[in-house]
Structure formats: C-alpha cells, structure tokens
Amino acid sequence: MGNIVHFENVGLRYGTGPETLSDVSFTLATGGFYFLTGASGAGKTSLLKLLYLAQRPTRGAVRLFGEDAGSLPRARLPGFRRRIGVVFQDFRLLPQLSAYDNVALPLRVAGVRESEIEAPVMEMLAWVGLSARVTAKPPTLSGGEQQRIAIARAVIARPEILVADEPTGNVDPDMADRLLHLFEALNRLGTTIVVATHDLHLIGRIPHAQLMRVEKGKLVDPSGLLRHPPGGA
Ligand SMILES: Nc1ncnc2c1ncn2[C@@H]1O[C@H](COP(=O)(O)OP(=O)(O)OP(=O)(O)O)[C@@H](O)[C@H]1O
C-alpha cells in the first residue's frame, strides 16, 4: 500500500491576511480512512481545498497520486480532479438539473455511454434513499436531500479519493449512519476517504480510521503518525 497524498510544510494565505494554514505536513496512505476535525475556523475546509486542488499552497508542496500538484500543467488538472470525488459543505448542485442529472454528471463528463448510466445512477439514488425524487430539482429539495445527492454525485464515478466536508451536517442520525456505511463500502473497495466533521459519534463508528486535527491553522500530530506513517512516506 503506497501513499496517495503528501503535504510538505504547506502554508496557505488568502490575499494579504495572516496564514490560514502553516507548516502542514502529513501523508495519507492509499486506501486509508481519515477524519479531519478542529474548531470552526481552524482551517479544515482550507486544507481540503488544497487536497482537491481548488487552492494552490502559498508555500510548501502538495503531492497527489505521486506527482507534485504545483508543477502540473494546467491541461492535466481536470484529469487529476476527476480522480477526486468532493462533497462540498454547500453541496454545489446544479439547480437547473434534476437529481438524476446531477448524479449522472461525473459519468457523462467521463464519457460513459448513456445506456450505461441509468443503472448506476438509480442504484446510487436508492442508496441515499432518494429513488422517489429522481426528477426533482435541487431548489425543491430539503438540505438533507441535497446533501445526499451531493454525496451520490461525488462517489458515482468511483474516485480514488473521496473528500467530504461535513457530509452529514444536514441529515438525521439514521441517515448519517447509512452514509457512513456507503463510505465504508467504498473504502473497502480501495477508495481513500477524508471526512471533515465535528460529529464525534460519526468518528467513533469507524474504529480503524485515523484522526487528523487542525488547531489554528496547524496540524496537531502528537504521535507523529501522520507525518511519518508506518511504512514510510
Ligand atoms: N476565500 C477566503 N478568503 C479569505 N479568508 C478565508 C477564505 N476562506 C476561508 N478563509 C478564512 O480562513 C480561516 C479558516 O477557514 P476554513 O473555512 O478553512 O475553516 P473550517 O475549519 O473549515 O471552519 P468551519 O468548521 O466553520 O467550516 C477562517 O478564518 C476563514 O475566515
């Protein structure tokens, strides 16, 4: 099992403000399950943005899939991004598209034939309990329903990394458990999972998951396991 993500002394500054993240160094193993915690404003979303290549670090290096993300030619970014599924904190569904078409989007972008799209999309919508809302558009759905569509869309193309920012923030505990089962099933198939959450119950549900914690823009790593995982960086 190799390493899929490596941050080395990463710093991030928005504009001319102070550093939001400083000296962040860690390594994620391929196929690992990671929870990212920290107080509101500590820098979790910012760290995830660096991970899914929505932000470039202002210093340090981010390596993904064994390559330096900072020196990737622009033309290769979309291909890289397709290997990462993202559940955004604010969902970012396309309001004019139905639930079905939102979930189908990553498969269509990847060039999957229309005849091979319906079965996985319907299966995924069933998984998240939304078979009855296939034609509904996001503005007519509840926050929890939108969140579940966002999750279905993030996982449908079987990404190598799934990054989820508070993915159970808007659902009840039963649905949170169900979504966690989905993440676990993906993890068993080899997907590396990174979930930012404040939900301690959720964290307790995956005993083998590793905990990452950001405090005021710094990664807390008292055991050194994130910086120097067993097996080497
Ligand atoms: N685009 C931006 N421009 C300027 N400052 C930003 C931007 N995004 C985040 N910040 C600042 O960076 C800091 C960390 O924000 P971030 O969203 O990463 O925290 P978080 O740990 O995810 O918080 P929460 O749990 O509330 O979502 C905050 O002080 C925030 O105001």
What confidence tens digit (pLDDT) does each residue in 196-212 have? 998 888 899 999 999 99
Cα 47 to ligand 1 centre (Å): 10
Mutate to test the pocket of ligand 1, among 10, 13, 20 (most ligand atoms within 8 A of CB): 20
Q: Is the pLDDT of residue 104 over 60?
A: yes
Top pLDDT among 198 and 94 is at 94
Cα 106 to ligand 1 centre (Å): 27
Each residue of 169-197: pLDDT tens digit?
Answer: 888 888 888 889 889 999 999 999 999 99
The predicted pLDDT at position 1 comes to: 61
What's the per-residue H, E or C state across the chain? Answer: CCEEEEEEEEEEECCCCCEEEEEEEEEEECCCEEEEECCCCCCHHHHHHHHCCCCCCCEEEEEECCEEHHHCCHHHHHHHHCCEEEECCCCCCCCCCCHHHHHHHHHHHCCCCHHHCHHHHHHHHHHCCCHHHCCCCHHHCCHHHHHHHHHHHHHCCCCCEEEEECCCCCCCHHHHHHHHHHHHHHHHCCCEEEEECCCHHHHHCCCCCEEEEEECCEEECCCCCCCCCCCCC
Confidence of residue 56 (pLDDT cuts 50, 70, 90): very high
Closest residue CA from atom 25 of ligand 1: 40
Confidence of residue 232 (pLDDT cuts 50, 70, 90): low
Cα 98 to ligand 1 centre (Å): 30
* Percent of the chain whose pLDDT exceeds 90: 74
- For the chain, give every domain's residue range: 1-218
**46 close to ligand 1 (CB < 6 Angstrom):** yes
The predicted pLDDT at position 13 comes to: 96
Each residue of 120-146: pLDDT tens digit?
Answer: 999 999 988 999 999 999 999 998 899
Mutate to test the pocket of ligand 1, among 35, 37, 45, 215 (most ligand atoms within 8 A of CB): 45
Top pLDDT among 2 and 154 is at 154
**43 close to ligand 1 (CB < 6 Angstrom):** yes
The predicted pLDDT at position 178 comes to: 85
- Is this structure's pTM higher than 0.90? yes
Cα 66 to ligand 1 centre (Å): 28
Confidence of residue 114 (pLDDT cuts 50, 70, 90): very high
The predicted pLDDT at position 171 comes to: 86
What number does CATH give the domain 1-218? 3.40.50.300
Q: Is the pLDDT of residue 233 over 50?
A: no
Cα 125 to ligand 1 centre (Å): 31
